[in-house]
Amino acid sequence: IQLTQSPSLLSASVGDRVTLSCKGSQNINNYLAWYQQKLGEAPKLLIYKTNSLQTGIPSRFSGSGSGTDYTLTISSLHSEDLATYYCYQYNNGLTFGSGTKLEIK
Amino acid sequence: QVQLKESGPGLVQPSQTLSLTCTVSGFSLTSYHVHWVRQPPGKGLEWMGVMWSDGDTSYNSALKSRLSISRDTSKSQVFLKMSSLQTEDTATYYCARVLSGDDYVMDAWGQGASVTVSS
């Protein structure tokens, strides 16, 4: 399954509601996770199984979706959310999306 | 606490074999699966393979002919070997543990090992 993330680059202001998209080439059956990767760091798990929030992750992060279309939402952007975000499907094989780089205006 | 740490040579010559070690602490390799993921500079993430908790392995089909993953449970180490390296194998290589009770979602990652393939 191939994953297409959009947009590839997103610029937003602190306090904005931000939505990142991930679309699969086939049905993912909700086996989708989201990772945050800050510059020079390893990826960090945010969300798994579409909408399960990983322990310790702030509640401003949420996930939704079904079928082939999934979304990561940050309800109120913080400056420390500057990062690249990857979706990851584990329904059929294991693949990552190409990432959305989130910039802070 | 749970920790993973990759180690290995920073520089490998083209056509040679890469050997990396992932040393873990805070959990048992017989209870958790450990995956390998790599990331070329400035690019995205690629799943490479997994050491299952039962000692079995699975590989990315694109890398399978060159890749071998093994372990030493007594030393809490997982090993990655990849042969016939080319410049496009230049990347940061991560080992990562899965979520408790899960097979595929990685929740704890090492800091990564940077590998450059160059003569």
Q: Give the pLDDT confidence of A84-98 residue by residue, as tens digits.
A: 999 999 999 999 999
Q: What is the pLDDT of residue B94?
A: 98
Which of the four pLDDT bands, split at 50, 70 and 90, describes residue B86?
very high
Cβ-defined contact of A44 to B46 (cutoff 8 Å): no
Which of the four pLDDT bands, split at 50, 70 and 90, describes residue B72?
very high
Euclidean distance between CA atoms A88 and A22, whole angstroms: 9
Cβ-defined contact of A43 to B45 (cutoff 8 Å): yes
What chain B residue is nearest to A98 in terms of C-alpha separation? Answer: B44
Element (H, E) at A24: strand A18-24
Q: Give the pLDDT confidence of A18-42 residue by residue, as tens digits.
A: 999 999 999 999 999 999 999 999 9
Euclidean distance between CA atoms B92 and B85, whole angstroms: 14
Q: What is the distance, to the nearest Å, from the Cα of residue B17 to the centroid of all Cα atoms in its chain? A: 14
Alpha carbons within 13 angstroms on the beta-carbon side of residue B39 total 24
Which of the four pLDDT bands, split at 50, 70 and 90, describes residue A77?
very high
Q: Give the pLDDT confidence of A49-58 residue by residue, as tens digits.
A: 999 999 999 9
Euclidean distance between CA atoms A28 and B98, whole angstroms: 19
- Closest CA–CA distance from residue B84 to any residue of chain A (Å): 23
Q: Is B101 left (phi over 0), alpha (psi -120 to 50) or beta?
A: left
